[in-house]
Chain A
Amino acid sequence: MAERVAVVGIGQTKYTATRGDVSLPGLLREAAFRALEDAHMTFDDIDCVVVGKAPDFFEGVMVPEYSLVSALGAVGKPIFRVHTAGSVSGSTAIVASQLVEGGIHGTVLTIGWEMQSCSEAMWALSVTMPFQQQLVAGAGGYFAPYIRQYIARSGAPDDTGILVALKDRQNALLNPYAHLHEHDITYESVRDSIMLWDPIRYSETCPSSDGAFAMVMTNEAGGDAAAAEGRQPAWIHATAMRSEPALAAGRDQVSPQAGKDCAASVFKQAGITNPRKEIDVAEVYVPFSWYEPMWLENLGFAEEGTGWQLTHDGVTARDGDLPFNPSGGVLSSNPIGASGMIRFGEAALQVRGMAGDRQIDGARKALGHAYGGAAQFYSMWVVGSDKP
């Protein structure tokens, strides 16, 4: 019988373009200590540390967790490093949860991070390899053709992406940790921003951020103990990961099968038959604005070709019936190797009722979502205020 898992501590740093005032260990410790404080714990209470980040080239440190062992209080403990492309820190959170679920550890600390100020991520992703197609223009250049295909298929109005960017950046104004706080943002300012990769404008693109996100997970007894002290845990109802190849005949990169399968699995495990109705809030990995309508469809919240209507109808706004990214999302903060865990953790904050000004009233069941690679790696979880 698998153990129930509770998220009892969450900590994150303020996301910013350059965190010049702390070292890499310092950045991680900031998030870790905040999570431990939230969980009313110290490093002594932690059985295992599970870390995830984007490629080592981004900071120029090969397997950096080895030099972080002491800083993370992991001497004499297991430390585990997950690496699954952009979905990585969602996957990392899932691996951490499974160590508890499988009964191997009682309390696990998990951390995702990136210090993108150490490099230029777009070019770090664009190295020339023999016999491989060169990415040339980073992630935006890669995804733009699929977005254009989505528009062609769905007939979505041209300004759908503008509406998503405007909503997420305005949501970010309520999130003190968000990287971008654009108080003057308007529909016009997004529309008039420079076109980077048609149809993706500058203001419809995620920033490059430094930052870290940490969570403490415990077994059922730990979750019960936190609840007894009035500290609401987020109970993990289901987790799922799916992958598919970058290149496969018949592969649909607009709405990839792995994403559909992953969503179907996580909802089924969580006993959810009508996600649109039963999910109160979703933190979904939207690095480029148009991925909101695309994921609305891929995740099964909308029929194929109609996701954009939910965006236009305000369904995904804070006051809509399916708020997407009340934290401001990846469009407002993007320390790549933490961005997945931020989605998972913000979902958990919502069902704990601890999301501050960005709290969605009555959020009791939430989805966290991350994707990566050529839209081919997926990790998702459903968390709730009540035990599964």
Chain B
Amino acid sequence: MRDVAIIATAQSKHVRAASTLNEVELIQPVIHEAIEQSGIGRHDFDFTCSGSSDYLAGQPFSFVMTLDAVAAWPPIAESHVEMDGAWALYEAWVKIQTGQADTALVYSYGKSSPGDLPRVLSRMMDPYYEAPLWPTSIDFAALQARVAIADGVTSEAQMAEIANRSRNAAASNPFAQLTSSPEVADLLSSEYLAEPLRKHDCAPITDGGVAVILAAGDKAREHCTRPAWIRGIDHRADGHHINFRNLCVAPSIGIAAEKAGVGMGPVEVAELHACFTHQEPIIKAALGLDESTVVNPSGGPLAANPMMAAGLIRLVEVANRIHSGEVSRGVAHATGGHALQHNLVAVLEGEG
């Protein structure tokens, strides 16, 4: 495998509704900032890959217009995934592995604000048996939370602690949408949204985007003083129908973690794509993390959850901490689908 690193990153300031910006206007400054930071010329990337969702944009081929944000003239080698940007990064990483590229620009974005996001996400379910019932993403997550509590994986009190810890941690994250939390006792006395989930258990609805620059080998060292090397990366899917799955466990995360080599060394920091509080212990267990790992120091998706970008942001938050020298080894997790169905795990390391 070729050595590939994240050498530059940028994010938008994540907000509930970027009402005055369209997707191009939202992502263009973010892409520009990442390119500037890398010191690579804007026409010098060997490959560009992005992730977004037509259903969020309310438009077929919505990514076509967003191509305007990357100055694809003269023409570029480019691709797009209808998945979180973490998978766009994966495609770029594969491209670099083939030897057809040494550098890549990756970006993703989501504007959830124009629609009713939990209802929109119900369209992601099986079209014959589930989608006709219009269960929202929160209804679906609540089913998983119920099972997790019943099986002793977590409790409402622990979930409130996770919400409190995450949002207070986000106070130091300049991009976060929610940056403080009421006390745990106050959280627990609030109304249920979908029992056992309360509002604090759910990630906020967010508009935002993220951009990442990848480079291989010496190219990475040339453009970054402390590259965040992708030592392992893998993604796996579980089945869709919840009656075929034990919702308390995420076997696909375990497989991806093993393939990515999570257990090959200490995990100083982990950024987990847990959009609901009860998912954090499920992901931690599947990754085999113990209490020595700092989880979601950025605040995680509970502090800002731009759809299609929140997974890639997990890699960015780990990479940033490696770039700064704060940590030497960390794990990033990204998810797609309902109830942790599709999962990507990456191990990032600094040198020396």
Contacts and interface: CB of A to CB of B under 8 A. Distances in A.
Q: Are chains A and B native binding partners rather than an unrelated pairing?
A: yes
Interface stretch (A74-82, A281-289, A338-346): A74-82
Interface string A43-82: 0000000000011111111111011111000111111111
B83 A75 contact: no
Interface string B57-81: 0111101110110001111111111
Interface stretch (A97-105, A165-173, A186-194): A97-105
Contacts of B1: 103
A207 B165 CA distance: 56
Nearest to A259: B75
Contacts, number: 182
A244 interface: yes
B98 A101 contact: yes
B77 A78 contact: no
A102 B97 contact: yes
Contacts of A82: 79-82, 91
A246 B75 contact: no
Contact of B239 (A69, A91, A99, A101): A69
Q: How large is the interface on A (under 10, 10 to 19, 20 to 34, 35 or more residues)?
A: 35 or more
B237 interface: yes
A240 interface: yes
Given A76-B238, A129-B59, A56 B251 contact: no
B240 interface: yes
Contacts of B120: 62
A257 interface: yes
Contact of A85 (B64, B74, B81, B121): B64
Contact of B127 (A64, A104, A377): A64
Given A62-B53, A80-B81, A75 B237 contact: yes
A84 B62 CA distance: 10
Contact of A83 (B68, B82, B98, B123): B82
Nearest to B129: A67
B2 to A, nearest CB: 9
Interface stretch (B201-209, B262-270, B334-342): B334-342
Contact of A243 (B67, B236, B342): B67
Nearest to A70: B239
For A54, A68, A102, the residue with the greatest tally of chain B CB atoms inside 10 Å of its CB is A102
Contacts of A244: 72-76
A125 B64 CA distance: 12
Contact of A62 (B87, B121, B234): B121
B136 to A, nearest CB: 13
B221 interface: no
A245 B255 contact: no
Interface residues of B, number: 63
A78 B235 contact: yes
For A24, A67, A241, A261, the residue with the greatest tally of chain B CB atoms inside 10 Å of its CB is A67
B143 to A, nearest CB: 16
B79 A95 contact: yes
Nearest to A242: B75
B321 interface: no
B241 interface: yes
A142 to B, nearest CB: 12
Contacts of A24: 127
Contacts of A174: none
B341 A102 contact: no
Contacts of B53: 62-63
B254 to A, nearest CB: 10
A227 interface: no
B95 interface: yes
Contact of A245 (B67, B80, B83, B131): B67
Nearest to A75: B239
Contacts of A373: 61, 64
Contacts of B236: 76-78
B286 interface: no
Given A57-B60, A127-B58, A131-B22, A243 B238 contact: no
A137 B90 CA distance: 37
A56 B79 contact: no
A26 to B, nearest CB: 11
A228 interface: no
B125 interface: yes
Contacts of B82: 56, 63, 81-83
A95 B92 CA distance: 10
B65 A132 contact: yes
Interface in B101-156: 120-121, 123-128, 130-131
A374 interface: yes
10 contacts: A58-B60, A61-B124, A62-B124, A66-B338, A75-B238, A79-B342, A81-B87, A95-B94, A101-B98, A377-B78
* 10 residue pairs, one from A and one from B, having the closest CB atoms: A102-B97, A55-B60, A258-B75, A83-B82, A243-B78, A67-B126, A62-B123, A244-B75, A66-B337, A62-B55
Given A78-B235, A102-B95, 15 more contacts: A55-B61, A56-B82, A61-B127, A62-B121, A70-B241, A70-B244, A76-B238, A78-B234, A82-B91, A95-B91, A127-B60, A242-B78, A245-B67, A246-B68, A261-B74
